[in-house]
Amino acid sequence: MVRGLSHYIGGRLVEGTSGRFGDVFDPCTGDVQARVPLANQDEVRQAVAAAGEAQAGWAGTNAQRRARILLKFVDLVNRNMEELARLLSSEHGKTLADSKGDIQRGLEVVEFAAGAPHLLKGEFSTDAGTGIDIHSLRQPLGVVAGITPFNFPAMIPLWKSAPALAAGNSFILKPSERDPSVPLRLAELYSEAGVPDGVFTVVNGDKEAVDALLEDPWIKAVGFVGSTPIARYIYATAAAHGKRAQCFGGAKNHMVVMPDADLDQAADALVGSGYGSGGERCMAVSVAVPVGEETADRLVAKLQDRVKGLRVGHSLAPDSDFGPVVSAAAKERIEGYIRSGVDDGAALLADGRGLRVEGHENGFWLGPTLFDHVTPEMAVYRDEIFGPVLSVVRAAGYEDALRLCTENPYGNGVAIFTRDGDAARDFATRVDVGMVGINVPIPVPLAYYTFGGWKASGFGDLNQHGADAFRFYTKTKTVTTRWPSGIRQGSSFVMPEGS
């Protein structure tokens, strides 16, 4: 049975009125399991208006009370974890354990955002001038929006919404139309926790809804995670309409393996970070960079052994290492990159095409693919594939490996595996990438640090979560005060000085 989905506006589920719908697939079977309404401009305007009406009252709720509501929300999500994870797996295709990790990493940011009473404190200076005090206030922007991707349908909406709500804003979420059910369920749980009607909104849609949000004058800031071309578009369009923008794009994450590294540890890390979640992660390692031919030969042999043992299966099967990719179009695109790698002369050591899972033959299946002798000119190296494809690019020496990572147009994440502290310190200092792992393959910072890439991976001055989130979702007001002392000083026509 195909479910009908809705928007979430004004604290309740609202049916779409545009007459346009998108299909939501079960990636394990290839079947349509739901239809999601695609909002038009009028529906977006109605949602924004409801959010605007609700925001002043929410901003007037003191930060500690807002934090208590967020903590109640965390408890509700934990109590509904199994339901949410199964719903997520059914629409995305990632394993149940991976779905729970998706949700948990989102909750960590909600827990951090509950520290809003401290994070929203301003500054105060007494006697900044004769009889003059100066203090600053952090105030909410108003109505803000988040446009989030299919690959983390719980984590990224929570990363975007929790700091925005904690700071006193209303938040409008436009999730991916490929897996919208978890965001809608999170909206219900926000309401159950005590978030007032209209303060958290979900508007489903495609480019029409996105453009309506970008152009609406009520929307003061927009956060986005997705591909680099769309990140650039949203950043430029938001700026043209006078909005703050925080946009994160694609990635081509490298992992340098030095000759002194523990190669078993490195191989395990590459397999987990390269193929986990079917490679559909912006922090997935898609390029292994062994230093020296001997290191490369030994590492590739270990990778081949591990790839042979990987189990691709139904997302709810407990023994699956990873499930299907999200859509038939994604599968076709990834297979095209595999063909191009072969045509360009890379050595195909493991071919994920043609995989069939018994009982689910129409699912969007791809097995792990491993290329060796990839060069920087090849499309499998240049482009973000976003699938279970790992490329080995051999480096003659450390400086060559460092240069490869630094010169890549993306700058999201990078890792180095080594026992040499001096090499690791030098690499972390010099590499032109936003997030660095040392013997850590997926260097996603914890919630109280910020997450963000450089170069073509990130657009905007402030990162996600951590203190940057509160800087992004607030504006600073500075107040200069002098109380009458009974002494008249007369008019002054000179620029005031600091003392």
Cβ neighbours for 389, distance < 8 A, ≥ 6 positions apart: 279, 286, 334, 337, 338, 341, 352, 369, 371, 380
Please say whether the beta carbons of 422 and 210 come within 8 A. Answer: no
Structure tokens at 364: 């969007």
Pairing of the two strands 285-290 and 474-482: unpaired
Please say whether the beta carbons of 31 and 360 come within 8 A. Answer: no
CA distances for 203 relative to 199, 412, 438, angstroms: 13, 28, 40
Q: At CB < 8 A and 24+ separation, what contacts does 329-334 make?
A: 330/280, 330/364, 330/386, 330/387, 331/364, 331/365, 331/366, 333/387, 334/366, 334/385, 334/386, 334/387, 334/388, 334/389
Sheet of strand 458-459: strand arrangement = 12-14, 7-9, 200-202, 170-174, 143-147, 219-225, 244-248, 458-459
Burial class (CB in 10 A: 0-12, 13-18, 19+), 241: middle
Please say whether the beta carbons of 415 and 289 come within 8 A. Answer: no
CA-nearest of 175, 41, 55, 155 to 109 is 155
The single residue of 28, 247, 282, 405 carrying the catalytic annotation is 282
CA distances for 14 relative to 11, 47, 49, 170, angstroms: 9, 10, 15, 18
Please say whether the beta carbons of 431 and 414 come within 8 A. Answer: yes
Is 282 tagged catalytic? yes
d(CA 396, CA 1): 57
Query: DSSP states of 60-94 as a string?
Result: TS-HHHHHHHHHHHHHHHHHTHHHHHHHHHHHH--
- Whose tokens are 């010099």? That residue is 430
d(CA 164, CA 157): 11
d(CA 276, CA 390): 11
H or E stretch covering 353: none
d(CA 285, CA 137): 41
CA distances for 442 relative to 242, 270, 280, 346, 467, angstroms: 35, 10, 13, 25, 21
d(CA 353, CA 349): 12
Residues assigned a catalytic role: 282
